[in-house]
Amino acid sequence: MPPRKRKPENRGLPKRWEHYHGAYYYRVPKGQEAAWDGKKRFRLGKTLPEAYKTWAERITPRDTPATIAALLDRYAVEVMPTKSPATRRSQAAGIERLRRVFGHMPIRAFRPQHAYQYRDKRGRTAPTAANRELEILSHAFTKAIEWGAIERHPMIEGKFRKLRRPPRTRYVEDWEIIEALSLPSKRRKGSIRMLQAYIRLKLLTGMRRTDLLRLRMSDLREDGISVTPSKTARSSGKRIIYEWTDELRQAVEQAKAARPVHISPWLFCNRRGESYLKDDGSANGFDSLWQRYMARLLAETEITERFQERDLRAKCATDAESLERARQLLAHASDATTKRVYRRGPERVKPLR
């Protein structure tokens, strides 16, 4: 039998876009080929950012969207390119699901109860995804007001509330950290030694995984480690300098010594001297290392429960001497998120005399 042809995919992409053989294409409507170099299928680019850029240069959707599908298409073209690669990837999947459910609806026909019905049904199996998808829809409605499609926000008018899930409570004890840092390494460089240096640096600074894996040797300056957090790089652009202490210098030196390629520009690099963090925000190589590290800890130490990489950020916040100190370390704009999600230790109360 002849091999079956691979069908193009359209996962959360704008209308008439498709992902085919490793690139993004636009299926040109009949009669409009002249505007697209005479092609019926126009290649937009290999990556999503490249495709969005080509699309913006060729056409700017200025028509007021009438349906939710048209609104999501315009949102994907004009708003998503401003997001980080990881957010774009996540939102593309969310938009695909939203389009399947609400795409046929006129924007003005949407009511708050539609959001509640979606939340309750989707939330039974994927509560976190339900919240994120409805965040996309809510932001799209905000843009719809800006674009003149509606006058009032249907989800705000109905005082819509997301699913509230209790925050994660796993607290990594000090003895567990000692066990993790004492695990013997089978290699002189990379792997375990790199992860142990990573843990030390994370506990001292509370930096996000993205920011730690993006650290360059040039970020290690005379006054400290200079970082522009990825969460605020596109908004405030605020820069943070973690001032040198003896412990911080020691952690950085251990990270340097664990690098398999000393001429790499990255503080944490793989065997080829490349960053573990990819352009799309993923870090599959690092994640695989972490999972193997956890497996060894469970098999060879007294640790009986896995902890996630992000639990270290929570430990840093919990062990800080005050809520304000924790907020500074985690680079939060306010202490509300710091207190609700990252301060995981018990609240200590002095009894009355």
Grouping H, G, I as helix, E, B as strand and the rest as coil, residue 24 is strand
The domain locations on the chain are 17-157, 174-342
The pTM (predicted TM-score) of the whole model is: 0.71
Whether pLDDT at 1 is above 80: no
| C-beta neighbour count of 200 within 10 angstroms | 20
Segments in 59-216 forming alpha helices (H) = 68-78, 85-102, 112-123, 127-146, 154-157, 174-182, 191-205, 209-213
> For 17-41, how does the pLDDT look when each residue is reduced to its tens digit (9 = 90+)?
888 888 888 888 887 777 788 888 8
268 phi and psi, to 5 degrees? -115, 115
Q: Which of 209, 169, 215 is nearest to 289 (CA)?
A: 209
Identify the pLDDT of residue 56: 72
> What are 146's two structure tokens?
């800006």
Distance CA 66, CA 332 (A): 38
| Whole-number Å distance between alpha carbons of 251 and 256 | 9
The mean pLDDT value of the chain amounts to: 85
Which residues, 6+ apart, have CB-to-CB distance to 202 below 8 Å? 212, 309, 312, 313, 316
Average pLDDT over every residue of 38-59:
81
Instruction: Render pLDDT for 120-150 as a digit per residue (tens, 0 to 9).
Output: 999 888 888 888 999 999 999 999 999 988 9
For residue 3, the one-letter residue type is: P
H or E segment at 20?
strand 17-20
Question: What are 294-346's pLDDT values in tens digits?
Answer: 999 999 999 999 999 999 999 998 888 887 888 877 777 777 777 777 777 77
Sheet holding 240-243, edge to edge: 220-221, 224-227, 240-243
The reply to whether CATH 1.10.150 applies to domain 17-157 is yes
Residue corresponding to tokens 């409805």: 134
Q: For domain 174-342, give the CATH superfamily.
A: Intergrase catalytic core (1.10.443.10)
Residue 59 pLDDT greater than 70, yes or no: no
pLDDT at 3 over 70: no
